[in-house]
């Protein structure tokens, strides 16, 4: 005799149910972030420039956008009253991937094709990618942050600079943390500028040059004058080995060759 109702014990991670007609909870969910949208037109223009496709869009009676790229889905709803995108406190999500470099390359390539340049400052923008880095951030016109993170990123990170380093080397590591993990280019600029003034005289020419290159790059991103740092950089006497080390570490910086002193 068959029972119409019986107790079912689900596999680990599932819920127990008593009715065979009721589904169990299984670990195959899909999470789709719902982000505030301050401007439908600007949001669509930015994400479509990156290669996203709109699978749904409406402006009335309320805003709702559904965008998709590769396996990534982003949905957007109405922005709360008083939202200021410039404060970059809107919303965000984490995108876990096997390797972040291909995603960064895809987005900067799309930006160059549509905008003629990489959007590295203001809104919208993408953070610079340092070879070997485990994350980067897209910030959209509404101030939302989409952070791409490598799945095997170290579980423990030293926020604020490695304690194993000293002087200018520690300041550079601190600036890296501020840029890549805290998304604070302005604070990274301030910290590195102060460190160059305090520790620059005690550092080797190549260490000074690396720090000055980072300051120039940061100054460009936050729209500060680059002349003081360019002048100091071009005044350094660098050996062939020094230049090779700088190019090896900072070759991803587009203007590097123009910044360095002539050979």
pLDDT tens digits, one per residue of 9-29: 445 555 544 556 778 898 989
For residue 245, being part of any structural domain is answered with yes
Identify the domain containing residue 209 by its residue range. 160-263
For residue range 50-86, what is the model confidence (pLDDT) as tens digits? 999 999 999 999 999 999 999 999 999 999 999 999 9
- pLDDT higher than threshold 90 for residue 245: yes
DSSP string for residues in 34-86: EEEES-HHHHHHHHHHHT-EEEEEE-SSS-EEEEEETTEEEEEEEPPTT--GG
Distance CA 116, CA 110 (A): 9
Could you tell me if residue 65 is inside a domain?
no
Tell me whether residue 109 is in a domain.
Answer: no
Tally of domains in the chain: 1
Considering the domain boundaries, does residue 259 fall inside one? yes
Bridge partner list, 56: 66
Structure tokens at 50: 């990156």
What's the predicted TM-score (pTM) here? Answer: 0.74
Determine the pLDDT at residue 166: 86
Residue 229 lies in a domain: yes
């Amino acid at each position: 005799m068959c029972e119409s109702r019986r107790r079912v014990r689900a596999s680990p991670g599932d819920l127990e149910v008593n009715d065979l007609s009721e589904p169990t909870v299984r670990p195959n969910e899909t999470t789709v972030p719902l982000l505030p949208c301050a401007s439908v037109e600007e949001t669509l223009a930015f994400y479509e420039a990156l290669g996203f496709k709109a699978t749904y869009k409406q402006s009335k009676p309320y805003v709702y956008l559904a965008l998709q790229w590769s396996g990534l889905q982003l949905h957007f709803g109405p922005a709360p009253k008083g939202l200021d995108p410039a404060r970059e406190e809107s919303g965000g999500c984490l995108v876990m991937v096997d390797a972040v470099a291909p995603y960064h390359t895809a987005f900067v390539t799309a930006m160059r094709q549509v905008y003629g340049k990489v959007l590295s400052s203001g809104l919208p923008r993408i953070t610079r990618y340092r070879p070997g880095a485990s994350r980067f951030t897209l910030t959209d016109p509404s101030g939302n942050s989409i952070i791409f993170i490598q799945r095997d990123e170290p579980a423990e990170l030293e926020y604020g600079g490695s304690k194993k380093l000293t002087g200018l080397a520690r300041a550079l590591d601190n600036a890296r943390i501020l840029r890549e993990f805290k998304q604070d280019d302005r604070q990274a600029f301030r910290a590195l500028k102060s460190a160059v003034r305090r520790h620059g005289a005690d550092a080797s020419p190549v260490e000074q040059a690396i720090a000055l290159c980072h300051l120039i790059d940061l100054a460009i991103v936050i729209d500060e004058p680059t002349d003081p740092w360019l002048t100091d950089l071009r005044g350094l006497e660098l050996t062939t080995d020094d230049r090779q080390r700088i190019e090896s570490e900072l070759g991803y910086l587009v203007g590097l060759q123009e910044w360095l002193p002539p050979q």
